[in-house]
Amino acid sequence: MLTDTPGIHHITGIVRDAQTNVNFYTDVLGLRLIKQTVNFNEKFTRHLFYGDETGSPGTGLTFFPYPAENDGRIGKPQISTAALVIPPNSVSYWRDRLVEHDVAVTGPTERFDETVLRVSDPDGTKLELVTGDSSVTPWADGPVPTQHAIRGIFGVTLLSTNIFVTASVLETLGFELLEQAGDRVRYRAPGDRATVIDLLDRDVEFGREGAGSIHHVAVRVPEKEQLYEWHDLFREREYDVSRVKDRHFFHSLYVREPGGILFELATEQPGLTADADLDTLGQSLFLPPWLEEDREMIEGQLQPLELPSAPETN
């Protein structure tokens, strides 16, 4: 039986340089590099996962680095922004930290009942640091003092070509309409983290996928068996839906809804720490069993990657 999603599982973006991506998300934002692997559909492309200590569902930012990728352009239909949770009393710390690292920051501004700082990563991916409560225990061995550390995903903002259809999809998945402020319509899932999806009812140009664009947002599903039920439901509605895929760390299903947004539905198990040593997460290239025999060839095609530097404080 289908159940409402408790919230977002992870957010995946496209960038250009893997090393620049690692340096920003670990050294500046203080997230843990949980997993370095490859795109299971394109084995010569890296796939980098960041999150809390264990890469819990609801904390994951993942990126595909394509060194020759052109710049993307934010527009419809796209996920325009990924938002991360910071403690309410950490706004000044983060503004100062970002400035010290030569990262342009806008804000703070007030939105609904939260305070927002806006930044872009080195490839132009739009990010927000948003004050709020979270059940997530932050990564304690990073460069950011624990009391200020990022506590997982806050949510995403969508630019749909059909806001009404996309809203209907959100409600089907289990998100409920919460409130509206100006052209921003907020939906929230019933879980304890990574629960917010905002729709912007805004007239903007069409976007272009490329470096700095967000490829998809994944929502959490309890069991693999539910993915088959979701597949049948979306197929009955004649949506563009994939088969159920084995992502080793989870099983997933992709659906491109009529508003143009690509959603992934991903199981919470077995998780990014399955068959892994917690102390050495992200320290070496992981390959799923079906690619292991090609390890030497794959490693030879990937750009070298220097692992995160030692913490500067904490």
pLDDT digits (tens, 9 = 90+) for 41-68: 899 999 999 999 999 999 999 999 999 9
Mean pLDDT estimate for the chain: 95
Q: What is the CATH number of the domain that holds 25?
A: 3.10.180.10
Give CA separation, 133 vs 8, 137, 152, 194, 243, in Å: 15, 11, 10, 10, 35
pLDDT of 207 > 70? The answer is: yes
- Is residue 313 included in any domain, yes or no? no
- Is residue 229 included in any domain, yes or no? yes
Q: What range does the domain containing 62 cover?
A: 7-300
pLDDT of 314 > 50? The answer is: no
Confidence at residue 217, expressed as pLDDT on a 0 to 100 scale? 98
Confidence at residue 307, expressed as pLDDT on a 0 to 100 scale? 86
Confidence at residue 277, expressed as pLDDT on a 0 to 100 scale? 87
Confidence at residue 273, expressed as pLDDT on a 0 to 100 scale? 86
- Is residue 202 included in any domain, yes or no? yes
- Is residue 249 included in any domain, yes or no? yes
Side chain identity, residue 27: D
Question: Quick one: average pLDDT of 250-270?
Answer: 96
- Is residue 307 included in any domain, yes or no? no
pLDDT of 156 > 70? The answer is: yes
Distance linking the first and last C-alpha atoms of the chain: 46
In the chain, the number of structural domains is: 1
- Is residue 84 included in any domain, yes or no? yes
pLDDT band, residue 311 (cuts 50/70/90): low
Residues 6+ apart with CB under 8 A from 99: 105
pLDDT band, residue 309 (cuts 50/70/90): low
- In the three-class reduction of DSSP (H, G, I as helix; E, B as strand; rest coil), residue 72 is classed as coil
What are the pLDDT digits (tens) for 76-86? 999 999 999 99
- Is residue 69 included in any domain, yes or no? yes
- Is residue 140 included in any domain, yes or no? yes
What are the pLDDT digits (tens) for 113-153? 999 999 999 999 999 999 998 999 999 899 999 999 999 99
DSSP character at residue 71:
B
Q: pTM of the prediction? A: 0.95
